[in-house]
Structure 1
Amino acid sequence: MINFSDLTFIFRFLPVFIVAFYLTPYEFRTLTLLLGSLVFYGVGDIKMFPVLLGAVIINYLFSRALKGGGSKVLLGFAIVLDALMLVEFKLLGQFVDSSFMPIGVSFFTFKMISFQIDNYRGKVDEKAGFLDIAAYFVMFPQIVSGPIMRFEDYVKNPFMKLWNRENVETDSESASETETDQEKEIEVLETVKNDSDSDSEIINLDTDEGMEKLEDTGKNESAAEGERPSKLAAIEDGIRFFVIGLAFKVLLADHLSMLWRDIGTIGYESISTALAWLGAYTYSMELYFDFWGYSLMAAGIGVMLGFPFIVNFDQPYGSKNVSEFYRRWHATLGSWFRDYIYFPMGGSRKGNLRTILNLLTVWLITGFWHGVTLNFILWGMIIFVIILCERFILSKLPKFLGDFIGRINVLVLIPLTWVVFALPDNGMLSTYFMRLFPFFGVGVSINQGDFIKNVGIYGIVLGTGLILMIPAVYGFFVKHRKNPVFTVGLLLLFWACVYSLSNAAGNPFMYFKF
C-alpha cells in the first residue's frame, strides 16, 4: 500500500503525477487522473483491484439507467448492491482474512451510494461520461480514507476538461492578481464558523433547515464569476496543507502512538489510574492528529490538482457539546449520514420518537461502518445515548449550565468513548475501565510513578498537541499561511518529517483499517 507519509510517495509518485497531470493536454486530464489513481490503488491492493473495477463499471451502468430519475426500485437495488458489497467485505476482512477487505471499501462504496442518489435526484448532468464518473469514484487523494467528496464538488475543478465545460484551458497568468477558488472557500469557511459562533446558530445546526442554511452560505460566497484560478497558486497552497498534515502525522500522531503502545506493553492490569487517564487522552490526540493530518494531506493533494479544499475537521474539541463535536469531526462522513440517511428518514421533523429512531439508526450504522466487532457498535450506542441526553435534557437546563455540561462531555466523555473505540477485546476494555475508575482502591495503589515517568518522556509531544488543539492556533496558521515566516517554518517542518521518516518506518494511517 502506498502511504501518503511514505518517502516513495512524497518524492516519486506525487511529484511525477502532478507534473504528468499538468503536462497532459487539458482535454485528457480526467483520463490522467483515472489512470494515475488506478496505478496508485493497484500498487497498494492488486488482489482486490478487480473488485474496485467491477464496482466502478456496475455503478456506471446503474447511473445510466437512473439518470435524471428512473425507477425507485432500480435505485434501491443499486444502493443495496453497494451496501451488501461493503457488509460482505467487512465481514470477510474481520472473520476470514483481513486481506479480503479492499482498501478504502468503506469510502468508495459511500461515494457510489451518494452518487446514485444524487443522480436519481437530478443533481448529476446527464452528459457526464464514464471517464468523469470513474475518475470521481477512484481518485487517489481520497479513495483510501476520504474525505468523502460529493460529485458536485468534484466537477468544480477548473483544470480538467469535463462534459459541461468549454474546451478552453484556464489562464494561468492571473496568478499574482487573483486568489484561487480554494483560498476563497477556506476563507468563507472561516467566516461562516466565526459568524455562526452564536448559541442560536449552534442549536439551529441540529435542524434540517439550519444545516441547509450553513451550506447555502458557503455556496453563495464562492469565487467571483470570471476570476480564473492559477495552477501554480493551487499547487503552492496544496503543498502548504500537505506539509502541515504530514507534520501532524509524523511528528505528533506517530510519537503519541508510542506512548499508547507503551501502556499496552506494560499491561492494562498493571498501570495506575493516572496513567490510564493519560492513555485515554493520548489515544484521543493520536487519533485526532493522525486522521486530521491525513485529511489535510488528502485535501492538499486535491487542491494541487484544482479540486475544492474539503474541510473534514473543524476544531472539534472546541465544541460546546457532543452533537456539535460530531458535526466538526470527520465532517464529510457526518454530512453523508445526515443527507442520505437522517434527512430521508425524516430528520427531527416528525416528533421525538421518530427523531430517536433516526438517530439510533445513524449511530448503529456509524458503528458498523467503522468495524463489525462489538466495541464499535458499543461506541456508536454510547454516542447515541449522550446525544439523546443533550437533546432532551441539557437543552432544558439554564443555558450556562447546559453549555458547561456540554463542554465537559466533549472534554471528558469523548476521550472515554475513544478507549471503547480502541479496544476490541472485551477483557482488555473492562480491565482498562477498572483502572480508570478504581472502585475499592483497585488501581490507585499500583505504581504511581509510571505516570510521572511517561509525562517526562512524552511531555513535549503532549504539550505541543494540546496547544495545536486550541482552535485559534490552527486558524492563525490558515490566515497567515502565505507569510514568508510561515513558509520557512513549513520548510523546517518538512525537513523534520523527512528526517524522521528516513530513520524509522512510518506507521500507516489509523483510518486505513476502516
Structure 2
Amino acid sequence: MIFSSIFFLFTFLPVSLALYFISPMKMKNLTLLAVSLFFYAWGEPVYVLLMISSILINFAYGIFIEKLKIENKMALRKVVFLTAVLFNIFIIGFFKYFGFITDNINLIFNAGIVSRDLPLPIGISFYTFQVLSYIIDVYLGKVKLQKNPVSFALYVTMFPQLIAGPIVRYSDIDSQLENREISSHKFGEGALRFIQGLGKKVLIANNMGALWNLTYALDVSTMSAFSAWLGIIAYTFQIYFDFSGYSDMAIGLGRMFGFEFIENFDHPYVSKSVTEFWRRWHISLGTWFREYVYIPLGGNRCSKIKQIRNIMAVWMLTGLWHGASWNFVIWGIYYGCLLLIEKMFLKKFLDSMPGIFSHIYCMLAVITGWVFFAIEDIGVAKHYLHIMSGFSKNPFVDSASLYYFQSYAVILVISALFCTPLFKKIFSPEENTDNKLQYSIAALLHVFILIMSTAYLVTETYNPFLYFRF
C-alpha cells in the first residue's frame, strides 16, 4: 500500500484516523500500532512476521544490555551488544544482499552456489536502521531503555514513516511516544503538508518519470544528446519530487497523529557544492551514517589517511544501502571522491567564485551521479554519459527530443521552480503574516492539488514509488 493510492486516501487513512481519535489517550499507541501492522501486512503478509520477530528480539536485546549494565558485567554486555548489531546486519544482509554476494562469488570463483532471488521486504532498510539506532544509543547510554513493548513496537512500525522514512532515530521520538500534542491545529498543519507531498509525487514526479521512461526507451545507438540530457534531467526531477514528496506526506501524517519527524529535504537543488547538496538531501540517512559510522570511525579528528578511509567507507555503505548492485557502489564511490576533492582543495575555490557558476558545477555533478543511480547496467550508463557529452557519433538533437521537450515544457519549468524555496513560500505562508489573501490563495491551492491528484490517480496507471526497492 502506498500513500498515493485511492484506497489509502479514501479508505485506510480515514478509518485509521477515526479509530485513533476515538481511542482513549492510553490506547492511542496500541491503536496506531494495530493499524500500522495492518498497513504493512497489506503489502507484506508474510514479512510482517519478520518485522514482529525483529521487534521482539531487539526489545529483548535492549533489556538484556541494560540489565548487564546494572550488574556491571561490561565484557558480557559488549558481547551482547555486538551480537545484537550483527543480528540486524544479518537480517538486512540476507534479504537484501545474499543474491548479490553469491552472484559475485560465482562470477569470480566459478563456485556454482545456487541462490534464489528473495522478494525484498518493503522498508527493511529503514526500519532496520531505526532499530540499530535504538540498540546503539541504549548501549552508549544516550537514551533510556524502553520498557513498554507497545511503545517500542510503535516506534519501529509507525506507518507514516515505515516504508520510506525519514529514518527516525529513537532519540528523536522517545519522549513523543509517551507525551505528544494532539490538536486540531496540528492536524490541520499535517493535512496541508500531506497534500503538498501528494502533489509533488502525483502531479510532478509521476509526469517526470513518464518522460524519463520515454527517453530512456529510445534506441541508444541513435539517441540524440538532447534526448539523453532531457531524460536524465527528468529523472533528476522525478527522484527529488518522488522522495521529498513521500517525506512530506510522512511528516504530514505524523503531525496528524501528533508526532514531529525531522525534515528530510531542504531544497538540495539550490546547492552550490556537492558537500552542501548532501547536507540538504536525505538528511535523515546522512545523519544516521554520520552518527553511527563516520564519527565512531574517527570522523575528521584523525590523520588525513584515516579521514579518507572514513569518508570512502561511509559512501560505499551509502551506495550499498540504496541497492545490491554495482551501479550503486560506483555511485557511492563517485560521491565519496567528489566530497574528498571538495574537502581537500576545491571548496575554497567554489566559495570564491560567483554563485551561478558553483551552482552549475554542483548540478552537473549531481545529474551525472543520477545516471549511475538510474541505470543498473554500468556499460549502458557509460554509453549514456558518452552520448550526453556530445562527443559520440549520435546526433545532437532530433525530432523525438524536440517533440518530448515541447510536450513536457510546462511541467519541466514548474519542476525547476518548485525545487527552490518558492514552493514553500506559496504553499506555506509564514504564520506571523497578516496577509489574509495569501492564506486564502494557499488554502485554495491545496484544495486544487487534492482534487487534481485524485483525478490523476483515478485515470492513470503509472504511479511508481522509487524508494520501495530500497
Do the structures match in fold with TM over 0.5? yes
1:207 maps to none
Give the 3 Å change call, closer, same or farther, for CA 485–472 of structure 1 in structure 2. closer
Q: Secondary structure at the match of 2:141?
A: coil
Which amino acid letter does the alignment assign opposite residue 423 of structure 1?
I
Runs (5+) with no aligned partner, structure 2 = 104-114, 432-437
Task: Provide the rounded CA distance (Å) in 2 between the counterparts of 1:477 and 1:76.
Answer: 47
Aligned mate of 2:455, from 478, 490, 499: 499
* Identity %, equivalent residues: 33
Q: Secondary structure at the match of 1:269?
A: coil
Given that residues 97 and 324 in structure 2 are in contact (C-alpha distance below 8 angstroms), is that contact kept between their aligned partners in structure 1? yes
Aligned mate of 2:416, from 442, 458, 466: 466
Given that residues 429 and 439 in structure 2 are in contact (C-alpha distance below 8 angstroms), is that contact kept between their aligned partners in structure 1? no
Show the 5 A alignment for 1:263-342.
263-342=215-294
| TM-fit CA distance, 1:434 | 2.0
Which amino acid letter does the alignment assign opposite residue 26 of structure 2?
E
| TM-fit CA distance, 1:138 | 0.9
1:61 maps to 60
Task: Provide the rounded CA distance (Å) in 2 between the counterparts of 1:22 and 1:93.
Answer: 44
Give the 3 Å change call, closer, same or farther, for CA 406–380 of structure 1 in structure 2. farther
What per-residue deviation string (whole Å, max 9, x for no partner) do you get for residues 81-114 of structure 1? 1111111111257676665211111001100111
Which amino acid letter does the alignment assign opposite residue 383 of structure 2?
T
What's the TM-score once normalised by structure 2's chain length?
Answer: 0.90
What per-residue deviation string (whole Å, max 9, x for no partner) do you get for residues 432-467 of structure 1? 12211232x51135x522222111100111010001
2:150 maps to 131
Q: Secondary structure at the match of 2:429?
A: helix
Given that residues 79 and 113 in structure 1 are in contact (C-alpha distance below 8 angstroms), is that contact kept between their aligned partners in structure 2? yes
* Greater Cα offset, 92-101 or 347-356: 92-101
2:326 maps to 374
Give the 3 Å change call, closer, same or farther, for CA 408–51 of structure 1 in structure 2. same
Task: Provide the rounded CA distance (Å) in 2 between the counterparts of 1:92 and 1:352.
Answer: 34
1:107 partnered with 2:106: no
Q: CA RMSD in A?
A: 2.0
What per-residue deviation string (whole Å, max 9, x for no partner) do you get for residues 162-210 of structure 1? 2xx6xxxx8xxxxxxxxxxxxxxxxxxxxxxxxxxxxxxxxxxxxxxxx
Given that residues 281 and 415 in structure 1 are in contact (C-alpha distance below 8 angstroms), is that contact kept between their aligned partners in structure 2? yes
| TM-fit CA distance, 1:77 | 1.3
1:85 partnered with 2:94: no
Aligned mate of 1:427, from 379, 393, 418: 379
1:225 maps to none
1:119 partnered with 2:70: no
1:444 maps to 395
Task: Provide the rounded CA distance (Å) in 2 between the counterparts of 1:20 and 1:398.
Answer: 53
Give the 3 Å change call, closer, same or farther, for CA 396–438 of structure 1 in structure 2. same
Task: Provide the rounded CA distance (Å) in 1 between the counterparts of 2:243 and 2:226.
Answer: 26
Q: Secondary structure at the match of 2:266?
A: coil
| TM-fit CA distance, 1:145 | 1.0
Task: Provide the rounded CA distance (Å) in 2 between the counterparts of 1:238 and 1:98.
Answer: 39
Task: Provide the rounded CA distance (Å) in 1 between the counterparts of 2:363 and 2:165.
Answer: 26
Which amino acid letter does the alignment assign opposite residue 409 of structure 2?
G
What's the TM-score once normalised by structure 1's chain length?
Answer: 0.82
Runs (5+) with no aligned partner, structure 1 = 171-228
| TM-fit CA distance, 1:230 | 5.0
Give the 3 Å change call, closer, same or farther, for CA 235–97 of structure 1 in structure 2. farther
Given that residues 322 and 406 in structure 1 are in contact (C-alpha distance below 8 angstroms), is that contact kept between their aligned partners in structure 2? no
Given that residues 156 and 307 in structure 1 are in contact (C-alpha distance below 8 angstroms), is that contact kept between their aligned partners in structure 2? no
Which amino acid letter does the alignment assign opposite residue 468 of structure 1?
F
1:179 maps to none
Which amino acid letter does the alignment assign opposite residue 110 of structure 1?
F
1:346 maps to 298
Which amino acid letter does the alignment assign opposite residue 122 of structure 2?
I
Task: Provide the rounded CA distance (Å) in 2 between the counterparts of 1:47 and 1:230.
Answer: 33
1:50 maps to 49
| TM-fit CA distance, 1:352 | 1.4
